[in-house]
Amino acid sequence: MPTDFQQLAERLPEWVEASRAYALKGRVASYIPGLAHAPQQALGITLCHLSGASVTAGDCGMRFTLQSISKVFTLLLALMDRGEQAVFEKVGMEPTGDDFNSMLKLELVEPGKPFNPLINAGAIVISSLIEGRTPEEKADRIVRFVRELAGGDTSIGINADVYRSEASTANRNRSLAYFLKDNNVLDEEVEPTLDVYFRQCSIETTCSQVARMALVLANGGIDPATGRELVPRRYVRIAKSFMVTCGMYNASGEFAIQVGIPAKSGVSGGILALVPGELGIGLIGPALNEKGNSIAGVHLLQQLSERYDWSIF
Amino acid sequence: MPTDFQQLAERLPEWVEASRAYALKGRVASYIPGLAHAPQQALGITLCHLSGASVTAGDCGMRFTLQSISKVFTLLLALMDRGEQAVFEKVGMEPTGDDFNSMLKLELVEPGKPFNPLINAGAIVISSLIEGRTPEEKADRIVRFVRELAGGDTSIGINADVYRSEASTANRNRSLAYFLKDNNVLDEEVEPTLDVYFRQCSIETTCSQVARMALVLANGGIDPATGRELVPRRYVRIAKSFMVTCGMYNASGEFAIQVGIPAKSGVSGGILALVPGELGIGLIGPALNEKGNSIAGVHLLQQLSERYDWSIF
Amino acid sequence: MPTDFQQLAERLPEWVEASRAYALKGRVASYIPGLAHAPQQALGITLCHLSGASVTAGDCGMRFTLQSISKVFTLLLALMDRGEQAVFEKVGMEPTGDDFNSMLKLELVEPGKPFNPLINAGAIVISSLIEGRTPEEKADRIVRFVRELAGGDTSIGINADVYRSEASTANRNRSLAYFLKDNNVLDEEVEPTLDVYFRQCSIETTCSQVARMALVLANGGIDPATGRELVPRRYVRIAKSFMVTCGMYNASGEFAIQVGIPAKSGVSGGILALVPGELGIGLIGPALNEKGNSIAGVHLLQQLSERYDWSIF
Amino acid sequence: MPTDFQQLAERLPEWVEASRAYALKGRVASYIPGLAHAPQQALGITLCHLSGASVTAGDCGMRFTLQSISKVFTLLLALMDRGEQAVFEKVGMEPTGDDFNSMLKLELVEPGKPFNPLINAGAIVISSLIEGRTPEEKADRIVRFVRELAGGDTSIGINADVYRSEASTANRNRSLAYFLKDNNVLDEEVEPTLDVYFRQCSIETTCSQVARMALVLANGGIDPATGRELVPRRYVRIAKSFMVTCGMYNASGEFAIQVGIPAKSGVSGGILALVPGELGIGLIGPALNEKGNSIAGVHLLQQLSERYDWSIF
């Protein structure tokens, strides 16, 4: 049963306001100023339909950085740059059950490679696989790829303040990267690799831009506006699989049950989600639940999924 | 694109023979005689279509015990007996990244409840939630539920030899159960609970029976022959979500990418799988890969999924 | 410089009262009634000198169960029954850094045998090595050994209430024992082995009895009253080494630095300690610090060790 | 019973040759060229007696770097520079049971500070506590302290090749240091701190120099030649306690039982050991056992300890 987009569009503001109340129970990430200043009660969403229609509600003008959402795009780009075999020699395909920045399995489970590309250790390795001679060149390729997915929106760029803050507060990520280096999983140098990683996390967008990117994935990698294949379908499938099994940190299993659509969250409170063959979704809600996902955002997606029967399960 | 069942049926024997070669690289489970005597090179599969058609190939006469496949059925029965809230007070919804019989997260992650119902610790708790005054009564209800899903096939029962062997070699499961008891996660007594667990693992079936059970799940809980709802759709959805995120042990993520359908494997080499809205699949291939899944069986499912585009992703 | 025992004897009541104040900051173990009813502020100590002199102060009439202190005696008895090689095939010699009832290293570190005989897992294995056809016979041999070390004091016996309580609240120990059984480290049956373990934990003594036992160890295994060798010197040395490296749970390293004498504590608040070649010490102070050792007792021993320069380091 | 030094001196060459045979079963560390080129079968030892006598046997001309042996000296210097309280705010006093370079407890055990100063994480923190404005100045103070302990031997210095190799192969240590930085345990910058650490590891000595340093510790911190207190007795006691509980990596417990004297080993195959009140010992034997200690060296020390009854237990 396809989503009644007309009805959804009409009722969306009401859904948003109902979910916004949950933001009070969450906490805005505070480890860098660029995140800490986000308004606790903000909640905004854009849904783009394959037909070209789109709808937006709540605080949609708000700009936010992709943070971990970027891991989906670097995974896709690394697959396109290097191919499946090269990528999966360096990262695994399994959920971990541990924190996103945990080092436990790197030490405990042979051969010490990251379990998947959506935890920090895996994403750092993925960043090292992006083609480019310098961190700037690699980051530039990522930005251009993201812009392309967003329909060629050149207003998307790196937030320099956030980037600098990320780089200066990243000792846990440095620790992860040197561990990977020691395990011979990371072939590139640590600091240039982390530089790419911090830049990708700092790409600044809006809900509607993220929704537009998600729409391409919902369409199997083909830009619905131009009909051009931006990502091979096989790689979109891989990304969607990871989004379902590991996209929402250690609440991915619960999200699969309660919402049931591929999604990836970031510490900024952003969520990229999609209803395959139908909708791309971009969402921002800075207040996070204890698992690190937008508390009001998850509630909103759950309400919509139940109402419009979006679950792929 | 719906599966071309006619073509699949014609070519199935050929697919089976091509995959059977992989069995030589695997190892048959040997911890109890009832499993150790299974033929290394056996491979059999049955697919049941919603239309009522079915096809079978390979060693389909072979009888095997459900083992961990039973965890899907006890989860469903516990949900029907107790409701979602009571079940998820006792087990979580997340993949673990650890071995199926690991105790690490029970000790390390508060509040010490099993991460999901498909690892041993979780399945033991689930067994304790099945209604019934005695282990025999609980096991009897499980058997009757399984028979019902198999279209009322009363030939399905418990293999007494396997049950006795399970019970006498189950010290790791006893250790898990006493740990759960100590954590106040298991309310029932340990030995009666384990007795239920060993019985459910020892339910003996064939490929075609498992395929028939899977067909009900592929049909959202409704028996396609009678139109009767055997399981509420919501619970089927929950079960399918778990099968995707945790159904194939620590290879669930890879299976999601390479095959992309809900499935649950057992140490006997059995696999229950399903293509939503289309097919129920039962498979046996006793030789296991290093992750504990039927090595030839996984290969066969991957070939079929690629050929007929089954992936839900 | 030998301890000025005369001066120590005169000033001991004063030392005891000064340390007793610390008991208010501790917590009495509460998992069984037999422990929970112990008076929070109690503190008693006896010191026995090799010369035959002894001194007692504080609440020395108080009876308490040996609990983990018994692990020293079963280690000695197992060494005498089986010899070093047989014992150390089953348990290691290393401190763990984990909780006394942890299962982490059993799962994570090959070959899955307990790191040392003073953690629960190790002590359970040791109990299984005591000679005797039945748990009663084994426990009886332990009691007789303990009485012998206490100078033939036949008033020492098992507190039946505590024994019953231990047996009925021991699910974590059952979990450990079945894990060891599964790892093929425990050759005996689980329940009879645990029965011995619960009995040894429930041996009831007083400070002066414990001090008298410790005196034999301080004298290298020879009863100073009779000149008879009750334990071979080599085994006393092994026991003292373990007491220094693992005797005070996860505060053993700190105790080595701050007190510097071989000691073993129990959850009852008892401590057995010794100054080699000089003194046997028995102490009771039920209020425990966060590491599980008698809070006032550790303070008292530290004061005495500093004043009389007892540290072996 | 004091050691019969005259007899020991006469028979030492024979003891050395008997132990040398064990070197064939060990492996020379190979992660940097400066270690990898050490001769597998080398074994040398010097014992310095408090009387001023000394004896040497085997390959005593061989120069080797202190590696982890230096951790004892930086601990002492940090205690002298900062005092006990400041040091133990940053590192604990407990053995870990984990590998010397493990990160497990930093992640799993609150508050994430290193368990003791002799594992890498702890030693890195200790290096950061040495007074000095620059890494060079800090390292220079360490070298001068070590020379002073060696009787003012100015031939002791840093091996520049080893230092450079250490610095370029130290990704695991970098990972540890950034983790400590992230945990707010390390106050100084990572790279300057590691620079000190690599320099201290690269201090080059001989057996007789190490034996002379150990002699000062055996004498409670007082240089036996000059009568001058080089280290306060209390700090020597702390160092000796750590050497017994954690000095020989994860074989410290076994070494305490089988040899029973304070000792610290290094990956170069060096061992510093001492018999309190009697002897300082320096030993080199590059072939290591599986726990990382000189295989022939440990055998030799065990033989000598048994023969001359050195155990403090």
Q: Active-site residue B216, yes or no?
A: no
Mutate: best of A79, A109, A245, partner B, most B CBs <10 A: A245
Residue of B nearest to A312 (CA): B312
Find the mean pLDDT for residues D261-288: 98
D99 reaches C (C-beta below 8 A): no
Per-residue pLDDT reduced to its tens digit, C6-20: 999 999 999 999 999
Per-residue pLDDT reduced to its tens digit, C218-248: 999 999 999 999 999 999 999 999 999 999 9
Per-residue pLDDT reduced to its tens digit, D31-71: 888 899 999 999 999 999 999 999 999 998 999 999 999 99
Active-site choice (B249, B264, B268, B298): B249
Find the mean pLDDT for residues A46-60: 96
Per-residue pLDDT reduced to its tens digit, B149-181: 999 999 999 999 999 999 988 999 999 999 999
- How far apart are alpha carbons C109 and C97 in whole angstroms? 13
Residue of B nearest to C190 (CA): B171
D312 reaches C (C-beta below 8 A): yes
Q: Active-site residue C235, yes or no?
A: no
Task: For residue C78, count other CB atoms closer than 10 A to its CB.
Answer: 26
Residue of A nearest to B252 (CA): A94
pLDDT of residue D95: 97
Cβ B58 vs Cβ B23: under 8 Å: no
Find the mean pLDDT for residues C264-280: 98
| Helices and strands per DSSP (H, E), number in chain B | 14, 10
Q: Is A202 left (phi over 0), alpha (psi -120 to 50) or beta?
A: alpha
Q: Which of A214, A221, A269 is nearest to A243 (CA)?
A: A214
Per-residue pLDDT reduced to its tens digit, C54-74: 999 999 899 999 999 999 999
C284 DSSP 8-state letter: E
Cβ contacts (< 8 Å) between A99 and chain B: which residues?
none
User: What is the per-residue burial (b if ≥16 Cβ within 10 Å, else e) of A167-193?
Assistant: beebbbbbbbbbbbbbbebbebebebb
A264 reaches B (C-beta below 8 A): no
- How far apart are alpha carbons D260 and A115 in whole angstroms? 43
Does the beta-carbon distance from C252 to D96 stay under 8 Å? no
pLDDT of residue B60: 87
The C-alpha of B26 sits at a distance from chain A's nearest C-alpha, in angstroms, of 20
Q: Which two tokens stand for residue D186?
A: 């390390």
Find the mean pLDDT for residues C205-212: 98
Helices A207-218 and A233-246 cross at an angle (nearest 10°) of 120
Q: Tell how strand A54-58 and strand D287-288 pair up.
A: unpaired
Residue of A nearest to D104 (CA): A104
SS (H, E, C) chain A: CCCCHHHHHHHHHHHHHHHHHHHHHCEECCCCHHHHCCCCCCCEEEEEECCCCEEEEECCCCCEECHHHHHHHHHHHHHHHHCHHHHHCCCCCCCCCCCCCCCHHHHHCCCCCCCCCCCHHHHHHHHHHCCCCCHHHHHHHHHHHHHHHCCCCCCCEECHHHHHHHHHCCHHHHHHHHHHHHCCCCCCCHHHHHHHHHHHHCEEECHHHHHHHHHHHHCCCECCCCCCECCCHHHHHHHHHHHHHHCCHHHHHHHHHHCCCCEEECCCCEEEEEECCCEEEEEECCEECCCCCEHHHHHHHHHHHHHHCCCCC
D98 reaches C (C-beta below 8 A): yes
pLDDT of residue D3: 86
pLDDT of residue D191: 97
Comparing CB atoms, the residue among C102, C104, C178 nearest residue B175 is C178
D251 DSSP 8-state letter: G
Active-site choice (B22, B28, B54, B71): B71
Comparing CB atoms, the residue among D107, D181, D182 nearest residue A102 is D107
pLDDT of residue D83: 98
pLDDT of residue D1: 61
Cβ contacts (< 8 Å) between A311 and chain B: which residues?
237
- How far apart are alpha carbons B111 and B81 in whole angstroms? 24
pLDDT of residue C121: 97
Does the beta-carbon distance from A103 to D179 stay under 8 Å? yes
pLDDT of residue B1: 61
Per-residue pLDDT reduced to its tens digit, D156-195: 999 999 999 999 889 999 999 999 999 999 999 999 999 9
Does the beta-carbon distance from C253 to D245 stay under 8 Å? yes
pLDDT of residue A169: 87
Find the mean pLDDT for residues A11-35: 95
Q: How many residues does chain A have?
A: 313
B189 reaches C (C-beta below 8 A): no
Per-residue pLDDT reduced to its tens digit, D91-120: 999 999 999 999 999 999 999 999 999 999
Q: Which of A84, A139, A90, A78 is nearest to A116 (CA)?
A: A90
pLDDT of residue B187: 96
Neighbours of chain B (3+ CB pairs under 8 A): A, C
Comparing CB atoms, the residue among D93, D262, D313 nearest residue C257 is D93
* Residue ranges, chain B, pLDDT below 70: 1
Q: How confident is the model at residue A209 (pLDDT cuts 50, 70, 90)?
A: very high
Residue of B nearest to A116 (CA): B253
Does the beta-carbon distance from A257 to B238 stay under 8 Å? yes
The C-alpha of A71 sits at a distance from chain D's nearest C-alpha, in angstroms, of 22
Cβ contacts (< 8 Å) between A241 and chain B: which residues?
253, 256-257, 260, 313
Does the beta-carbon distance from C175 to B171 stay under 8 Å? no
Q: Which residue has the tokens 């290094």?
A: D266
C161 reaches D (C-beta below 8 A): no
A305 pLDDT more than 70: yes
pLDDT of residue D34: 87
Does the beta-carbon distance from D97 to C95 stay under 8 Å? yes
Cβ contacts (< 8 Å) between B218 and chain A: which residues?
none
Q: How confident is the model at residue C185 (pLDDT cuts 50, 70, 90)?
A: very high
Does the beta-carbon distance from C95 to D92 stay under 8 Å? no
The C-alpha of B168 sits at a distance from chain A's nearest C-alpha, in angstroms, of 30
Q: Active-site residue D163, yes or no?
A: no
Comparing CB atoms, the residue among A102, A104, A174 nearest residue D178 is A174
Per-residue pLDDT reduced to its tens digit, D193-252: 999 999 999 999 999 999 999 999 999 999 999 999 999 999 999 999 999 999 999 999
- In three-state secondary structure terms, D283 is strand
Active-site choice (D249, D252, D264, D298): D249
Cβ contacts (< 8 Å) between D107 and chain A: which residues?
102-104
Q: How confident is the model at residue A1 (pLDDT cuts 50, 70, 90)?
A: low
Mean per-residue pLDDT over chain D, rounded = 97
Task: For residue C229, count other CB atoms closer than 10 A to its CB.
Answer: 14
The C-alpha of D133 sits at a distance from chain A's nearest C-alpha, in angstroms, of 23
Cβ contacts (< 8 Å) between A116 and chain B: which residues?
253
The C-alpha of A257 sits at a distance from chain B's nearest C-alpha, in angstroms, of 6
Q: Active-site residue D90, yes or no?
A: no
CA atoms within 13 A on the CB side of A92: 22
**Residues of A catalogued as catalytic:** 68, 71, 197, 249, 267
Does the beta-carbon distance from A241 to B262 stay under 8 Å? no
Q: Active-site residue C71, yes or no?
A: yes
Residue of A nearest to D182 (CA): A171
Active-site choice (C71, C113, C138, C264): C71
pLDDT of residue C3: 86
Mean per-residue pLDDT over chain A, rounded = 97
Q: Which two tokens stand for residue B195?
A: 């007795």
